[in-house]
Amino acid sequence: MPHLTSSGDEKPNWAIVIHGGAGSDPTKWNEDKTKIREAGLLRALTAGRDALANGRNALDTVELVIRILEDDAAFNAGRGAVLTKEGQVELDASIMDGKTRACGAVAGVTATRNPINLARLVMTETPHVLLAGKGANQFAEQQKVPLVAPDYFLSKARFPESEPHFGTVGCAVLDSDGNLAAGTSTGGTAKKLPGRVGDSPIVGAGTYAANDTCAVSGTGVGEEYIRNSIAYDVAARMRYANESIEDAVTIIMQQTLQAGVGGIIALSKDGKIVMQHNTPGMSCGAADSSGKFETHLALKDGGSPQRRVTTDARKPSKAETEITELLLQQVKDWNQGDIDAFMEPYWNSEQLTFSSGGKVTRGHAKTLLGYKERYPDAKTMGTLAFEGLEFQALGNDAMQVLGIWKLARDNQPMTGRFTLVLRQFPEGWRIIHDHTSKTPEKNSDDTVQQ
Ligand code: ASP
């Protein structure tokens, strides 16, 4: 049974999310396997929660939690690691500090009891990010980390070859100082070629943390996570496309990764926790300072929200929202017969350019006069509507807006396109250029009226 307690909605002081691998359907596991997995998740999550509640920092907590999972033979990391095609253990791990973006990783280590510990030493004791194979093993000896003999690794005895053993482990943490960190550790994929390196030790693929966005750890077919820079992509979507952490992970799970490939745990700088998988199961758990504490072997619908998130659903930028409001106000003013108010968003300058019906007018005063001549009263003004607005940012303080205008007057509907260029002034956005054409568009040469 999943262990579940509810939580409040307030922004937590600290938060932690862990995984113990994505893969097979836990309802098909025997009782023994189910019990040891649940116990392992509970033990690791409890230790992480207690550490954070006692003020432990994010990086230390990630290392502590992953060490516990590496020492637990129920998971495919450290002691329970799967074997290569040649029957050896080759361990991968990485850790990243969201505050400084310092990171460290090891790949293909064979005798280190806790690869996450060695990854952290690569981060703190070398100028490098990733050490692999022989060099990583030598580094482990130099650093005097606990080393173990090959028979320490229990995979062969515990997990028969007929039963695939999943259970990469990962952890993402937000501490009470607002710092994020993430780490991942694995034995890789079962029967991998000797020397094969997965995503877990690749920063940006299996692990990523940056204080401005989120901390992430992935589990699944590592090659897919490397190809798509999955962990970094969660942060990039939040950073560049303003997506929420839930939308970022959902889009990646639904659109980037093929079904059945794996799972992601992620934690935002605001303490929002996301756990999703597109495999039948993912061992995972989460806790935070508001009292949340839960572990799962699989999530309902793989943890994805009911609604399907599409990239089109991206939030409009602040500039787009402000300009839309400005144009809607213009429409209102027009429809109330108030041309002066309608003209307010136009740049009050002799340099305003206004082109309509093949005629170009320069300057605010002339444009207003032109409008008043063409539309002497509310009846001739009719009812205006704007549709299909498209925005193209021109640098930081200018925007091009394309759209369709519709005017109903005396039961004579007219329509056409407009292209506006707006600039941001201290008093707000102002239209500095307006080009309006009627449909069907006439091929007339614009004439300039000074
Ligand atoms: N991502 C890991 C790897 O490819 C395996 C896993 O998460 O199950 O090495």
167 Cβ inside 6 Å of ligand 1: no
pLDDT (tens digit per residue) in 410-424: 777 889 999 999 999
Q: Which ligand 1 atom is nearest residue 196's CA?
A: 9
pLDDT (tens digit per residue) in 68-127: 999 999 999 999 999 999 989 999 999 999 999 999 999 999 999 999 999 999 999 999
Binned at pLDDT 50, 70 and 90, residue 446 comes out as very low
93 CA to centre of ligand 1 in angstroms: 11
108 Cβ inside 6 Å of ligand 1: no
**DSSP 8-class letter at 162:** T
Q: Which ligand 1 atom is nearest residue 223's CA?
A: 4
Q: Which ligand 1 atom is nearest residue 23's CA?
A: 8
The enclosing H or E element of 94 equals strand 91-97
200 Cβ inside 6 Å of ligand 1: yes
Task: Estimate to the nearest angstrom the gap between the alpha carbon of 52 and the chain centroid.
Answer: 24
> Across-strand partners of 184?
94, 170
Mean pLDDT within 132-153: 96
189 Cβ inside 6 Å of ligand 1: yes
Which of 37, 70, 90, 219 best tests ligand 1's pocket when mutated (most atoms within 8 Å of CB)?
219
Which of 221, 230, 257, 283 best tests ligand 1's pocket when mutated (most atoms within 8 Å of CB)?
221
Q: Which ligand 1 atom is nearest residue 219's CA?
A: 7
- What is the overall mean pLDDT for the chain? 91
278 CA to centre of ligand 1 in angstroms: 14
Mean pLDDT within 266-293: 97
pLDDT (tens digit per residue) in 18-37: 999 999 899 998 888 899 99
User: Which amino acid residue places its CA nearest to atom 6 of ligand 1?
Assistant: 220
What are the helix (H) ranges across 221-294?
222-227, 230-241, 245-251
**pLDDT on residue 311:** 57
Mean pLDDT within 131-160: 87
What are the helix (H) ranges across 77-145?
115-125, 133-143
Binned at pLDDT 50, 70 and 90, residue 247 comes out as very high
Mean pLDDT within 324-346: 93
Mean pLDDT within 221-235: 97
187 CA to centre of ligand 1 in angstroms: 8
pLDDT surpasses 70 at 3: no
Rounded to an integer, what distance in angstroms lies between the CA atom of residue 261 and that of residue 94? 20
Which of 199, 226, 278 best tests ligand 1's pocket when mutated (most atoms within 8 Å of CB)?
199
21 Cβ inside 6 Å of ligand 1: yes
Number of other CB atoms surrounding residue 324 within 10 Å: 15
105 CA to centre of ligand 1 in angstroms: 15
Sheet holding 262-268, edge to edge: 207-209, 214-220, 262-268, 273-277
104 Cβ inside 6 Å of ligand 1: no
> Across-strand partners of 359?
356, 447
Find the Cα–Cα–Cα–Cα dihedral 28, 163, 216, 36, rounded to 10°: 60
User: Which amino acid residue places its CA nearest to atom 4 of ligand 1?
Assistant: 222
Binned at pLDDT 50, 70 and 90, residue 327 comes out as very high
pLDDT (tens digit per residue) in 37-71: 999 999 999 999 999 999 999 999 999 999 999 99
Q: Is 3 helix (H, G, I), strand (E, B) or coil?
A: strand
**pLDDT on residue 13:** 96
Binned at pLDDT 50, 70 and 90, residue 156 comes out as low
Pairing mode, if any, of strands 130-132 and 103-109? parallel
Rounded to an integer, what distance in angstroms lies between the CA atom of residue 78 and that of residue 122? 17
User: Which amino acid residue places its CA nearest to atom 7 of ligand 1?
Assistant: 219
pLDDT surpasses 60 at 4: no
The domains of the chain, with CATH numbers, are 3-303 (3.60.20.30), 318-438 (3.10.450.50)
63 Cβ inside 6 Å of ligand 1: no
Q: Which ligand 1 atom is nearest residue 262's CA?
A: 7
Binned at pLDDT 50, 70 and 90, residue 396 comes out as confident
**pLDDT on residue 379:** 82
243 CA to centre of ligand 1 in angstroms: 26
Yes or no: say if 93 and 186 are a contact pair by the CB < 8 Å rule. Answer: yes
188 Cβ inside 6 Å of ligand 1: yes
Mean pLDDT within 5-13: 64
47 CA to centre of ligand 1 in angstroms: 24
Mean pLDDT within 252-271: 95
Residue numbers annotated as active site: 168
415 CA to centre of ligand 1 in angstroms: 57
Binned at pLDDT 50, 70 and 90, residue 8 comes out as very low
